[in-house]
Amino acid sequence: MRKTTATPVDMARQTGRIPAQPGPRDTNGAGRSGASVAEGAAAAAGGSEVRGMVTSDEAVTAGGSAPSDAVAAGAAVIPVVALPSGEAVASGDDVIAGAGPVARPGERPTVRLRDGGEEDDAPRYAPEWLQLREPADAAARSLDLLDPLRIRLANLPGRASGGLAIHDLGCGTGSMGRWLAARLDGAQHWILHDRDPYLLHFAAVASPRAAADGSRVTVETRRGDVARLTPDALRGASLVTASALLDVLTREEIDTLAAACVGAGCPALLTLSVAGRVDFSQEDPLDAQIAAAFNDHQRRGGLLGPDAVTAAAEAFAERGATVRLHPSPWRLGPDQPALTGQWLRGWVGAAVEQRPELAPRAEKYLADRLAACAAGDLRVTVHHSDLLALPRPTGGAS
């Protein structure tokens, strides 16, 4: 009798739960054995159709009982503890991958939007970090940009004969789809792009199943880098969207993205780009220096960091698109201690990596900020910007 082994897809079919898998390594570059596992996915897929999952060559319907709200963590990621609030946080002074500087010299700590043989690169965003920030992202994204987007989508050529085709670039665990799909009417097919098959697995299984009007939502995944995006690659696309992506692109990559969207007549909703400003409820003399060093860190290697949203607005406008910008700040307070603490460690850590001379003062600064956070006395506004670009429709839109 042949012995069979259940695959992650089989487990998802049977239970609706994402099994634990190896994840990104910790900030010291070595995986810890025996790390705890946060169960489940961000949401149950229910009856969502999942096509092209990277863990299988066949179409999958993920169903079953709803898992917990936590995103599964892998055995090689940093230890995670569950808080009474339901938040997950790294134990000790560790920084979850993606919340602070984790790349080795010469590496970019993010999804790369380009071609090339980078299959062996370690993932740089831990699912724990993406799960931890998802509620703050959802609360921050601009609702004011949705009405002009809905109007454009309702009037797309060919919309009456089919649903929306939405490309989500650098999708991570799929939080953008979970936020946006239920705010748009009509059948939708989401094409999820990411270079990390681990994150694509989460995104597919935890994808939404219904639009705002109850219409069906389906999803497929595409692994790889998409820097050489062209109008042909977006043929038939109704919308390109991304979250927390622009600030980790170069000017050339933003120009490529804008040219592809405008060439295809495809709207773009690009949310949560860092704006380079942070406001604390309790000011400290070191705030400005930490912020300036962090912003410089974001610009390393030719990335645009806090300059990205302005560059993107210019790139789309130069190509004839109508561009709308709207603030989308994180407003962190006593109800989000885990996220605030992780963000603080990453923010200060990146600043010190950029300017090591800040280290002696930054150590006390961080300790004081974390103490205020733990006491429920700290509130911080981390400024971001959302961008909606509406190119002139072409025959390539659907």
SS3 of the chain: CCCCCCCHHHHHHHHCCCCCCCCCCCCCCCCCCCCCCCCCCCCCCCCCEEECCCCCCCCEECCCCCCCCCCCCCCCCCCEEECCCCCEEECCCCCCECCECCCCCCCCCCCCCCCCCCCCCCCCCCHHHHHHHHHHHHHHCCCCCHHHHHHHHHCCCCHHHCCEEEEEECCCCCHHHHHHHHHCCCCEEEEEEECCHHHHHHHHHCCCCECCCCCEEEEEEEECCCCCCCCCCCCCCCEEEEECCHHHCEHHHHHHHHHHHHHHCCCEEEEEEEEEEEEECCCCCCHHHHHHHHHHHHCHHHECHHHHHHHHHHHHHHCCCEEEEEECCEEECCCCHHHHHHHHHHHHHHHHHHCHHHHHHHHHHHHHHHHHHHCCCCCEEEEEEEEEEECCCCCCCC
Provide the β-strand partners of residue 242. 169, 270
Are the C-beta atoms of residues 207 and 217 closer than 8 Å to each other? yes
In the block, residue with structure tokens 């820097």: 227
Report pLDDT digits (tens) over 89-117.
333 455 544 443 333 333 333 333 334 44
More confident residue, 84 or 1: 1
More confident residue, 260 or 23: 260
- Domain 1-275+303-329+383-398 is in which class? alpha beta
C-alpha closest to that of 74 among 192, 160, 199, 187:
199
Are the C-beta atoms of residues 312 and 387 closer than 8 Å to each other? yes
Cα separation, 101 vs 81, in Å, equals: 21
Amino acid in position 23: G
**In degrees rounded to 5, what are phi and psi of residue 273?**
-85, 135
Does pTM surpass 0.75?
no
Report pLDDT digits (tens) over 256-301.
999 999 999 999 999 999 999 999 999 999 999 999 999 999 999 9
Cα separation, 61 vs 125, in Å, equals: 26
Report pLDDT digits (tens) over 223-269.
876 556 777 888 889 999 999 999 999 999 999 999 999 999 999 99
Pairing assessment for the beta strands 188-194 and 164-169 based on DSSP bridges: parallel
Residue 52 CB neighbour total at 10 angstroms: 18
Amino acid in position 26: D
Crossing angle of helices 287-298 and 337-354, rounded to 10°: 70
Confidence grade of residue 195 (pLDDT, cut at 50, 70, 90): confident
Provide the token pair at 203.
Answer: 């995104």
pLDDT of the residue at 229: 74
More confident residue, 34 or 381: 381
pLDDT of the residue at 228: 63
pLDDT of the residue at 70: 29
Average pLDDT rounded to a whole number, residues 302-323: 97
Confidence grade of residue 395 (pLDDT, cut at 50, 70, 90): low
| Segments making up each domain of the chain, as ranges | 1-275+303-329+383-398
Report pLDDT digits (tens) over 28-84.
333 322 222 222 222 222 333 333 333 222 222 232 222 223 222 222 222 222 323
Confidence grade of residue 160 (pLDDT, cut at 50, 70, 90): low
Going from the C-alpha of 157 to that of each of 161, 201, 263, 354, the distances in angstroms are 9, 32, 15, 49
Pairing assessment for the beta strands 188-194 and 322-327 based on DSSP bridges: unpaired
Going from the C-alpha of 358 to that of each of 92, 350, 381, the distances in angstroms are 22, 11, 22
Cα separation, 40 vs 24, in Å, equals: 17
pLDDT of the residue at 124: 54
C-alpha closest to that of 180 among 146, 148, 153:
146
